[in-house]
Structure 1
Amino acid sequence: MSFSWEYLFLSFLGMLTITTAQYASGASLNRDLFSYYDKDLPPSYGESTTVDMSLSLEKLNKLDFYKGTIQMTVTLKMMWKDFRLRWDPAQYGNISDILIPSSKLWIPEISLYNSNSPSEMLKGFSAHVYSYGSISYHPSMKIEADCSLDLKDYPNDTQTCQLVYGYGMFDTSRISLRSTSDTMHLDEYRENPLWEPFNTSAVKHTREFVCCEEVYDDITYSLTVRRREGHGRIVSAVGMDDGMHGSMHPSYSVNRGGGGGRVHASNQAEDKSSAFWVTSMITTWLILTVFLVGPSSAGIRIIFGGFIIVALVVLSVALNAQVDNFPETKLGRFLMGGMTVTAVVIIINGLVHRCYPKEHPVHLNDGERSKSKKLRIFVFIDIVAFLITVIILGTLTGLIFAY
């Protein structure tokens, strides 16, 4: 029994000694590295410092069609060499790498040129410093960048946004940027219920400016997203998430446990937007029912058409409250086209009501032949107007579902 206690005591003492030695080595290394280190100075004045860069998309937060911006959470992965931070691991307890707070290091001030607002760092980050002088720094941040958004093909639209990163303080003779990948990384991407990225790219540019002789590097990351099929023709009648500038936000959860990261949007939001589509199309097509009433009752047609155009105006106001620039969307154009067709039908029926032959007493038969001819003309006009209305509404409906 005494042997066991002695063994445990010696083991504990050995681990304590090793831990103390490692701590002492780490403290000594930290002291030696930063005794003459100045974080305000770049690593080298004699030659250019190359900064390797890549960008990882973590979350697509919002596409704001009103402001023309995209908001996302990204991780900017940078690596460079600082020869002031090299050491021999054998002299410091075989320590080959250490974590150093970024506030103590010279960090490349890479900025987003087309930023719409200051980037928000999610938390304080440390840099990984290796014994051979390499530094790896991966800050995560929320960014908002200008992006030209187009709702022309809504709800089957795709949007392409660019993020231009560069180092504006020094030219390429001091700081050189290099992209380690020709795409954005999506390994840690958390899915958005409405948008899915399907194409990314990363391209380095070397630019010269009129004002200066120096040459500067920047890396342009392009991200193309498309609206999900489940939120397409029927489901996405209105903006369902914070990707639209509006107040309708779905509740969704990400299932990581065996679900492959699938995103489940609330059925209530889908049902609501689906009903909006169906209501819009049914209301527009109801104008055809006025032709079931004879030309002699054109006044009733006008009243019914008035109800339809009021309903279409209400639907247009509801869509405009959810989607900015709704006239540019396919559904918006459909509603405006439906209102135009309904207005024309009402005007035609107003003329019919004004010109339709009035009933005469039975004993007056002098104009019977002329009256019969006028009736045939009005029936012909009625049939032609019906066919033209069907063709126009069919074309408008087809344009909604066409890609």
Structure 2
Amino acid sequence: MKVFVILCCAFAVALGASNTLWNDTDLDTLRNALLKDYDTHVRPSNSKTTTDLWVGMTVLHMEIIEATSTLETHAWLKMNWTDVKMKWEPAKFNGIDNMRLSADDVWQPDLTVYNSAEDKIVDHYAKTNKIAYPSGAVLWVPTSKFKTYCSLNLKMWPFDQQKCEIKLGSWTYDANQLKLRLSDDPVELKHYYKNQEWVIVDSSVEHHQTKYDCCVEPYEDITFYFTLSRRSPMYKAIAVVPTIAIVFMVLIAFWLPPDAGEKLILNGFACVLVCVLLIYFSQLLPVMSETSPLIVSFYSQTLYLLSASLIISAFVINISRKKGHKALPSFIKTIFLDNFVETVFACKSKAAEKAEHTVEDGNAGENATKDWIRFAVVIDRIAFVVYVIIFICMGFFHFV
């Protein structure tokens, strides 16, 4: 029993000693003095006094998501304001000239992204500490992630530039209560992590004051504008270079002998290649109701031209290989063979010269075959010239 009493006394002495080991620091004293009875839900100014909020942004990373027409931004949002409840005299607190506070300790402005594309209401800012100063100034630089709507124009894809915006404003405080101001350097890019696809080529900031239908008081917002240019070396290899190969395949087909079946193979392969690329584009790009990329339009029009080229090739092969032709109609012969047309377009091609040397005079059927072969050559050459002109016009319209 005596042992138990002795142990209880020792424990009580130790407990009392532990309570006297800790003394409040100067920061504890200052914190208790400032935050006693502090209401974080009340704006720290008199009702007739406006709180000035200085805003700036340090951009860390940006990414445009075409599928959802959104801009994803990682940044540090710099906010400064004066909290009259947080003033103190450093001399009374051992010279303390700043103090760290948790995010929920003091009032903070309800700065909201007006054009947010988040699926649900989220807190845009991380719960980082605030820094308070004796003058009542409060500095808060939370890491932030914004997902905002961006109206995309992919007409010039993959050489496009997109202009997107981030619109920030108070959700409940009007301009008479919370005055938004731009910091000295409102947009900083020195900490920007380079994107593999997008480059920021321009940035600007504008301050607006708007009256909404819901309220009589004006509300302010600060809108950050960013112009991003796509870096397109890979897209050049995927989308642009194949156009050169396809154009050459189409044009080469017109220079093959008129009876060569390779014409159909070449044009057919070009058709398959165009279809594959169009399917690839449909998976890569969103469906745009207003404008479609010019490169997609180019491939679509090329597919029509290839279809026409297949028809021309099939017709040329048919009239070149068929034996026992009737004589070429006189008006066709007059227009295409007996004047400068054949000289200009066919240039007495090897196929026509071969026909002339292999066909004996006096045989009406074989002479007719010779005329049809010469006519086929002229059709090929005329089609070649027409397609060259069409491709030049299309290239100028789509890529220049």
TM range (shorter): 0.7 to 0.9
Residue correspondence of structure 1 range 4-403 to structure 2 within 5 A: 24-44=25-45, 45-60=47-62, 62-117=63-118, 118=121, 123-181=126-184, 183-228=186-231, 231-232=232-233, 235-237=234-236, 274=237, 277-297=240-260, 299-325=261-287, 328-355=292-319, 358-360=322-324, 365-366=363-364, 373-399=371-397, 401-402=399-400
- C-alpha root-mean-square deviation of aligned residues, in Å? 2.7
Which amino acid in the other structure matches residue 144 of structure 2? M
Instruction: Please say if residues 151 and 164 of structure 2, whose CA atoms lie closer than 8 Å, have aligned partners that are also in contact.
Output: yes
Match of 1:153, SS state, is: coil
Write out per-residue CA displacement over residues 207-258 of structure 1, whole angstroms, 9 at most, x where no aligned residue: 0122321111111110111123xx34xx324xxxxxxxxxxxxxxxxxxxxx
8 Å CA contact 2:255–2:380 kept in 1: the answer is: no
* Pair 1:181–1:147, CA change in 2 (3 A): farther
Larger radius of gyration: 2
Cα displacement (A) at 1:112: 0.2
Q: CA deviation at 1:392?
A: 2.5
Gaps of 5+ in 2: 1-21, 326-359
What amino acid does structure 2 have at the position aligned with 1:54? Answer: G
**In structure 2, what is the Cα distance between the partners aligned to 1:42 and 1:122?**
19
CA separation of 1:397 and 1:119: change in aligned 2, threshold 3 A: farther
Question: Contact 1:153 / 1:329 at 8 angstroms: preserved in 2?
Answer: yes
Q: In 2, distance between residues paired with 1:355 and 1:325?
A: 44
Structure 2 Cα separation of the partners of residues 94 and 359 of structure 1: 110
CA distance in 2, matches of 1:350, 1:176: 75
Counterpart-to-counterpart distance in 1, 2:252 and 2:379: 16
Structure 2 counterpart of 1:315, which letter?
L
Q: TM-score, normalization: structure 1?
A: 0.77
Does the 8 Å CA contact 2:324/2:366 hold for their aligned counterparts?
no
- What is the one-letter code of the residue matched to 2:264? I
Gaps of 5+ in 1: 1-19, 238-273
Is contact 1:71-1:142 (8 Å) kept?
A: yes
* Aligned-pair CA distance for 1:92: 0.3
Q: How many residues are matched?
A: 340
Task: Give 1:11's aligned residue.
Answer: none
SS of structure 2 residue aligned to 1:104: coil
**Maintained 8 Å contact 2:249/2:266:** no
Q: Displacement, 1:58? A: 1.0
Q: In 2, distance between residues paired with 1:395 and 1:181?
A: 50
Cα offset for 1:189?
Answer: 1.1
3-state SS of paired residue (1:180): strand
Question: Are the counterparts in 1 of residues 316 and 379 from structure 2 also a CA contact under 8 Å?
Answer: no
Q: Tell me the CA shift for residue 357 of structure 1.
A: 7.7
Judged with a 3 Å threshold, the aligned counterparts in structure 2 of structure 1 residues 364 and 302 are, in CA distance, closer, same or farther, namely: farther
How far did residue 127 of structure 1 move? 0.7
Deviations 1:343-373, CA, capped at 9 Å, x for gaps:
1111222333455583239798335666555
Question: Residues 295 and 379 of structure 1 are in contact (CA less than 8 Å); yes or no, is this contact kept in structure 2?
Answer: yes
Structure 1 residues 122, 219: closer, same or farther in 2, change over 3 A? closer
CA distance in 2, matches of 1:139, 1:389: 60
For residues 172 and 100 of structure 1, the distance between their equivalents in structure 2, rounded to whole angstroms, comes to 27
